[in-house]
Amino acid sequence: MTITRTAVVTGAARGIGAVVARRLADDGFPVAVLDLDEGVCKPVVDQIEAAGGRALAVGVDVADEEAVAAAVERVAAELGEPTVLVNNAGIIRDNLLFKMTVADWDAVMNVHLRGSFLMSRAVQGYMTKAGFGRIVNLSSTSALGNRGQVNYAAAKAGLQGFTKTLALELGKFGVTANAIAPGFIESEMTAATAERMGIPFEDFKAGAAQQIPVARTGTPADVAHAVSFFVSEGAGFVSGQVLYVAGGPKA
């Protein structure tokens, strides 16, 4: 008997999250597409459904405890009890330490860390009951330190410790937890960084590619492929790991 497992992807209206959502749908998962605005999730849902998959758009602020609980309950009722979670939602508020505001620090921590905590806590009951679960957290090579990103780097490093602890606590219930730490990925976020620096995006990518052993920058599909592995049935003996999807051994 084939068991249908429902996946939840946060920050899935665009960029890496949208590509991950479509990849998981291609893998056969019904996918809940979560983002701040339910309306902007609809195009991704439409793409999944047009390809023959099942999807649900849900608007939620992942840092809001009550909103997260309601969103997960809705997914369970309308799409299926979630046993796969990809914590992808993220924001940047870059600045040097002496210029960074408390609001910029808190905003990044709330989305990345509080959001991943709230989402994981909300779905773990479904996972432990099913005796199967897959949690994938999106970290970053910035976890190793990155100038102008003290908030983002701290949050992404924190997600690695969070992931390893989830693996320890939930493993006996058939639930794995892993993290993916992308390097330079072509996305709206990196395009915005180039714009802020006053560099054409193509030049920005070319400069980054020169520092990467595989001589190219990454794409959201590279990250989605790694997610696909971690959430698969066959990856049940892989947990608590951080996979650097960065084109080489160094960030």
pLDDT (tens digit, 9 = 90+) per residue, 218-237? 999 999 999 999 999 999 99
Walk me through the domains of the chain, giving residue ranges and CATH numbers: 6-183+218-244 (3.40.50.720)
The continuous run of DSSP H or E covering 82 comes out as strand 82-87
Residue 1 confidence (pLDDT) above 60: no
Instruction: Look at the pTM and tell me if it is higher than 0.85.
Output: yes
Following DSSP, what letter does each residue of 196-233 receive, concatenated? Answer: HHT--HHHHHHHHHTTSTTSS-B-HHHHHHHHHHHTSG
pLDDT for the residue numbered 10: 98
| CA neighbours closer than 13 Å in the CB half-sphere of residue 194 | 18
Residue 250 pLDDT exceeds 90? no
Measured over the CA atoms of residue 96, residue 102, residue 108 and residue 112, the dihedral's sign is positive
Tens of pLDDT, residue by residue over 90-144, are 999 999 999 999 999 999 999 999 999 999 999 999 999 999 999 999 999 999 9
251 band by pLDDT with thresholds 50, 70 and 90: low
The lowest-confidence range among 76-80, 105-109, 139-143, 196-200 is 196-200
**Active site members:** 152
DSSP 29: -
Q: What is the pLDDT of residues 141-190, one digit of tens each?
A: 999 999 999 999 999 999 999 999 999 999 999 999 999 999 999 998 88
Q: Looking at the chain, how many residues does it have?
A: 251
* 3-state DSSP assignment of residue 118: helix
pLDDT at residue 2, rounded to an integer: 59
